[in-house]
Copies of this chain bind each other. A is one copy, B any other.
């Protein structure tokens, strides 16, 4: 089962060049931390803190492509942890079809924050169990 989380904090620690995102359970106490790259954290932070950019950045383009092709995003899910790598998926609806697309958690969350309201973010229960 997938547990709904929300973006709680974006942490940029200049020491060791580490950047992390904290997710917090919507209906509970659990938290989930995921390390992401400097560029990805910048995209997420910029989108949360600043006005939309003058020209579409890559995740704006992704959002525009989804819309132009007649689809709407449903949610994103951090779905698995294998060999120290987190896996995620983006769920889209196109007409009657539901389409799941494999992606990195950083892209999933970056895309999620490009929508208003932010797309629902889920983490699979077994992934939360593994890291708790």
A residues adjacent to B (C-beta < 8 A):
39, 54-59, 61-62, 64-66, 68-71, 85, 87, 90, 92, 94, 99, 101-104, 107, 110
Contacts and interface: CB of A to CB of B under 8 A. Distances in A.
Q: How many copies does the complex hold?
A: 2
Given A99-B69, A103-B56, A62 B64 contact: no
A41 to B, nearest CB: 12
Contacts of A58: 58-59, 62, 107, 110
28 contacts: A39-B39, A55-B85, A55-B87, A56-B104, A56-B107, A57-B104, A57-B107, A58-B59, A58-B62, A58-B107, A61-B62, A61-B90, A61-B101, A61-B103, A61-B104, A61-B107, A64-B101, A64-B102, A65-B65, A65-B66, A65-B90, A68-B92, A68-B99, A68-B101, A69-B69, A69-B71, A69-B92, A70-B94
